[in-house]
């Protein structure tokens, strides 16, 4: 079938990362930058520093949802080739000068809990219409029906949209926030490929009011067992 791209153009993958629960576990989330009809340029140090500086006030706000037991430790951005790989491209990184703990003082939830932000591209339909970010460290209570309050979810959506607006307006931005779709799956005689890869500019953020479960592999979170005897 020949070469099948994962992306319509070269794109930049941006990753926010950190640790949690005393450093026993790690978290990361991310998004893409680029264009619908041309390759993204290599990300600069100035851009990655701008991502860091725009994220810190959202993360550390004492009126925000991100738990103090989660730390933001850095940003990484790398130009991906059309096959989704680094190739010869080197990532660019930026780190806070001090520990950046989440601003919410309440107890953390289990590491598997995350809140999904849906990134809306174009009309929100079809290829590239929706992207996802799993937001770590959200530690807000739910009501008796299992839902978060609209105040919490609206705050998260508003902050994330403002974050993207800040980055998109930065002179060093390698394009704008996009959703990346590899296109439709094609299976010809057992050979799987994709066609009609598409990049779509993100123009909206939507946050639901139910926590999601994010599958995680443990890093260094030690488990201690308690035991009890069952009578013969």
* Chain segment 167-213, per-residue pLDDT in tens: 999 999 999 999 988 755 555 566 555 556 778 999 999 999 999 98
* Chain segment 117-153, per-residue pLDDT in tens: 999 998 777 777 889 999 989 999 999 999 999 999 9
Euclidean distance between CA atoms 73 and 96, whole angstroms? 6
37 located within any domain: yes
* Chain segment 90-115, per-residue pLDDT in tens: 999 999 999 899 999 999 998 888 89
How many alpha carbons fall within 13 Å on the CB side of residue 225?
A: 2
6 located within any domain: no
CB-based contacts of 196, cutoff 8 Å, min separation 6: 127, 183, 184
pLDDT band at 218 (very low <50, low <70, confident <90, very high): low
Does the pLDDT at position 11 exceed 60? yes
Q: What angle do CA 203, 204, 209 make, to 5 degrees?
A: 165
Pair 119, 31: CB distance under 8 Å: yes
Does the pLDDT at position 58 exceed 50? yes
Q: Name the one residue in this structure whose structure tokens are 């989440």.
A: 102
Euclidean distance between CA atoms 146 and 195, whole angstroms? 40
| pTM of structure | 0.87
Number of domains in the chain: 1
157 located within any domain: yes
174-201 burial code (b ≥16 CB/10 A, e <16): bbbbbbbbbbeeeeeeeeebeeebbbbb
Helix residue ranges per DSSP H, 114-222: 150-168
232 located within any domain: no
- Domain range for 21 is 11-212
Pair 82, 9: CB distance under 8 Å: yes
119 located within any domain: yes
- Provide the pLDDT for residue 77: 97
How many Cβ atoms are within 10 Å of 123's Cβ, its own excluded? 9
Closest CA to 176 of 207, 199, 206, 197: 199
130 located within any domain: yes
Does the pLDDT at position 87 exceed 90? no
147 located within any domain: yes
229 located within any domain: no
pLDDT band at 220 (very low <50, low <70, confident <90, very high): low
- Provide the pLDDT for residue 169: 96
In the chain, the percentage of residues whose pLDDT exceeds 70 is 84
Identify the residue with better confidence: 230 or 167.
Answer: 167
**Over the chain, what is the mean pLDDT?**
87
Identify the residue with better confidence: 1 or 172.
Answer: 172
Q: Torsion angle, CA of 122/127/128/133, rounded to 10 degrees?
A: 120
């Amino acid at each position: 079938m020949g070469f099948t791209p994962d992306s319509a153009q070269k794109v930049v993958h941006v990753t926010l990362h950190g640790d949690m629960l005393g450093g026993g576990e790690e978290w990361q989330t991310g998004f893409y930058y680029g264009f619908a009809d041309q390759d993204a340029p290599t990300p600069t140090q100035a851009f990655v520093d701008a991502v860091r500086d725009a994220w810190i006030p959202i993360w550390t706000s004492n009126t925000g949802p991100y738990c103090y037991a989660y730390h933001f430790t850095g940003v990484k951005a790398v130009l991906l080739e059309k096959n989704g790989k680094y190739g010869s491209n080197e990532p660019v990184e930026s780190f806070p000068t001090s520990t950046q703990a989440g601003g919410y003082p309440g107890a953390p939830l289990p590491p598997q809990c995350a809140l999904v932000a849906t990134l809306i591209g174009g009309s929100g339909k079809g290829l590239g219409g929706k992207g996802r970010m799993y937001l770590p460290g959200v530690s807000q209570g739910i009501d008796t029906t299992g839902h978060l309050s609209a105040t919490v979810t609206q705050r998260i959506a508003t902050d994330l949209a403002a974050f993207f607006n800040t980055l998109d307006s930065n002179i060093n931005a390698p394009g704008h926030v996009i959703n990346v779709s590899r296109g439709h799956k094609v299976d010809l005689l057992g050979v799987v490929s994709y066609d009609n890869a598409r990049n779509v500019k993100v123009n909206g953020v939507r946050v639901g009011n139910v926590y999601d479960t994010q599958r995680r592999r443990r890093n260094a979170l030690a488990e201690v067992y308690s035991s009890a005897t069952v009578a013969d």
